[in-house]
Amino acid sequence: MDKIKVQVSSEIGELEAVIVHTPGQEVASMTPKNAERALYSDILNLSVAQKEYCQFKGVLEKHAQVFEMRDLLSDILKDNSVKESFITDVFKDESIDDNIEYFLSLNNTEITKQLIEGLVMKKNNLTRFFDKDRYSLRPLHNFFFMRDASMSINSSVLIGKMASRVRDRETKIMEAIFNNHPLLETTTYNPTKLTNNSNNISIEGGDVLVAREDVLVIGTGLRTTSQGIDFILEQVKAKKRIKHIIVQELPESPESFIHLDMVFTFLDKNKCMVYEPVILQPNKYRTVHINLENEKVKISTVDNILAILKQLGIDLEPVFCGGQADPWTQEREQWHSGANFVAVGPGKVIGYGRNNYTMEEMNKHGFEIIRARDLLKNKVDIADYEKYVITIDGSELARGGGGARCMSMPIRRKSVNW
């Protein structure tokens, strides 16, 4: 197989390659007691979530090369030097005092499994016996939300700096994959390694949207700090390709406002999905334009994301999450990731079918509504449609707090003819 050069210069370019992670036993290991620590408000039914995710993955496979993160991780562990260095780093970072030599002696499939699903603690001394935790290496309950731990920005990959320590291993895994997998060609940059003071930095991929090769749109709130955006600013200044960063302040509650892509996503060259109360209605949440043209930094407040994008030559018509008739419906559908779409091409997107009013809005704006189950049973030929939204089931996945964009990590898209 030919090498894949990472290249993502928009949110809507035709999708060519993407990384996913089908949820496994790490999700089933959640309990009511550890759900909050795992950043969940509820526990999921794994068997239903897996069926829904397989439907989502099947739709992606109709459009692009799809790589399972688990397979990529297992691949790089075949190199013993990579494996030893990586496992040593994980054990040190998480203060694991289990027998590392024994762990390294396991086959790569088993190591991969335990890195994701957790390493059960051996209760072989009194301290461990008294420890209420079941795991030495805790399960990565959130990893099927692939978007957060790493971000493709043009030809590079930004490694996330997660707001919660429980997700740190996700970033280590993704960095190891991008730095060592023979199939992937890119350069990574990691805030924990490029700055001496990363304590206040947090950056998660749900907040980072590539509008165009020279324009980023970034949310700041619970998961991405201003210091994180300043780190990105310093990196893109050096590369001189990004000329504009648009920053959107986000509410700190409810938890459905966790990332920018829960209130704003790109749908087409001239359309976007918005949760109107945050993005367009007058409120206290500022929109800021960082202008990097002429190699000088100029920062100013602007009306909203759409207004400044229009000034930059990206004129977007808003499609309203939950419709416009009822604020309660808007709120309800935003809660269930009604604004969270991932594009597989300009005007070709995937989202949850459960958000009926949002889908009505999509249809009014020219998107054909295609059920994923019909597509996967070959009842529909997507080649017959210029614009469409493929609706996936989401009774369980949506309860995890994310949608189609959250669950996918694009690594290659075709360029867009703006």
User: Is the Cβ–Cβ distance between 174 and 195 less than 8 Å?
Assistant: no
pLDDT tens for 313-356 read: 999 999 999 999 899 999 999 999 999 999 999 999 999 999 99
User: Does a structural domain hold residue 344?
Assistant: yes
User: Does a structural domain hold residue 126?
Assistant: yes
What is the pLDDT, as a whole number, of residue 97? Answer: 84
Q: Which of 137, 154, 172 is the last residue of a domain?
A: 137
Average per-residue pLDDT for the chain: 93
Put simply, whether the predicted model's pTM sits higher than 0.85 gets the answer yes
**Is residue 193 over pLDDT 60?**
yes
**Residue 8 shares a structural domain with residue 64:** yes
**Residue 77 shares a structural domain with residue 96:** no
**Residue 296 shares a structural domain with residue 183:** yes
What is the pLDDT, as a whole number, of residue 38? Answer: 47
User: Does a structural domain hold residue 418?
Assistant: no
**Residue 283 shares a structural domain with residue 329:** yes
Domain containing residue 34:
4-84+138-413
**Is residue 40 over pLDDT 70?**
no
Between 98 and 375, residue with greater pLDDT? 375
**Residue 299 shares a structural domain with residue 170:** yes
What is the pLDDT, as a whole number, of residue 156? Answer: 97
DSSP 397: G
**Is residue 132 over pLDDT 90?**
no
Distance of CA 22 to the CA centre of its chain: 14
Q: What is the CATH number of the domain that holds 233?
A: 3.75.10.10
**Residue 173 shares a structural domain with residue 265:** yes
**Residue 75 shares a structural domain with residue 92:** no
**Is residue 12 over pLDDT 50?**
yes
**Is residue 157 over pLDDT 70?**
yes
Q: Three-class SS of residue 5?
A: strand
**Residue 159 shares a structural domain with residue 268:** yes
User: Does a structural domain hold residue 298?
Assistant: yes
User: Does a structural domain hold residue 215?
Assistant: yes
Q: Residue 365: enclosing H or E segment and its boundaries?
A: none
Q: Which of 137, 171, 203 is the last residue of a domain?
A: 137
What is the pLDDT, as a whole number, of residue 2? Answer: 85
pLDDT tens for 55-70 read: 999 999 999 999 999 9
User: Does a structural domain hold residue 380?
Assistant: yes
Distance CA 257, CA 353 (A): 20
**Is residue 50 over pLDDT 80?**
yes
Distance CA 301, CA 16 (A): 36
Count structural domains, the chain: 2
| Residue spans of beta strands (DSSP E) within 275-376 | 287-291, 298-302, 317-320, 342-345, 348-352, 368-371
**Residue 53 shares a structural domain with residue 105:** no
**Residue 120 shares a structural domain with residue 238:** no
**Residue 104 shares a structural domain with residue 190:** no
**Residue 174 shares a structural domain with residue 319:** yes
Q: What percent of the chain has pLDDT over 70?
A: 97
